[in-house]
Copies of this chain bind each other. A is one copy, B any other.
Amino acid sequence: MDNRQKILECALALFAERGYDAIGVQEIVENAGVTKPTLYHYFGSKRGLLEALLDRYYEEFDHLLVAAASYRGDLPLTLRRIAEVYFRYALDHPTYYRLQLSLGFAPQQSEAFQVVSGKNERQFSLVENVFAAAVRDHGNMRGRQRVYAMTFIGVLNACIVLAFNGYVHLDDRLLERVVHQFEHGIYS
């Protein structure tokens, strides 16, 4: 693997484990077995490194989410597909997903949040558009797309956090259960 990749991987692991602000550039290059000028040659700055890191992983996630979030009249199916994307990505790239989660809730004026906020907004609007489209077929949902989208993502992330802490498994059973719960509530 080339040095650029090594730096990205080490930075991902360290940022996800201890946080962007707590990790120094020196520690990244030591772990990657290179020196600082190499890092600055490829990424220009610590912020540029974070941007490259997020771009690389988010692109794939976004593609999957776009494909899953195409509403064609079957909301339960669409929600299941979206949940699949989230669960699958958290399973396949747990370190990255941990980082994305922590950055998504980082303070708004922090450098790390500013780097990730655009991606969060895009993610949110993709899900929101599903509910906005579904309103046409479910009249009594009108005007609630934002809350639906945000709470749906919140429910999925709640499951993912539980899974990261070893309390549940992100399998099909949980997915069906939690999407059903979101659609029909907790009593059935």
On A, residues with C-beta under 8 Å from B are 15-19, 21-22, 98-99, 101-102, 104-112, 138, 140-141, 144, 146-148, 150-151, 153-155, 157-159, 161-162, 167-168, 174, 177-178, 181-188
Q: In the assembled complex, how far is the CB of residue A120 from the closest CB belonging to chain B, in whole angstroms?
A: 10
Q: Are B147 and A159 in contact (CB under 8 A)?
A: yes
Q: Are B21 and A147 in contact (CB under 8 A)?
A: no
Please pick, from B141, B146, B154, the residue contacting A167 in the complex, using a CB distance under 8 A.
Answer: B146
Q: Are A107 and B111 in contact (CB under 8 A)?
A: no
**Chain B residues within 8 Å of A188, by CB:** 140
Q: In the assembled complex, how far is the CB of residue A166 from the closest CB belonging to chain B, in whole angstroms?
A: 11
New A-B contacts (4) at CB < 8 Å, excluding given A16-B107, A21-B22: A17-B108, A22-B111, A105-B106, A144-B177
**Chain B residues within 8 Å of A147, by CB:** 158-159, 162, 168, 174, 177-178, 181
State the CA gap A150–B136 with chains docked (Å). 31
**Chain B residues within 8 Å of A174, by CB:** 147
Please pick, from B110, B153, B183, B185, the residue contacting A22 in the complex, using a CB distance under 8 A.
Answer: B110
State the CA gap A140–B174 with chains docked (Å). 15
Q: Are A158 and B162 in contact (CB under 8 A)?
A: no
Q: In the assembled complex, how far is the CB of residue A128 from the closest CB belonging to chain B, in whole angstroms?
A: 10
Q: Are B18 and A110 in contact (CB under 8 A)?
A: yes
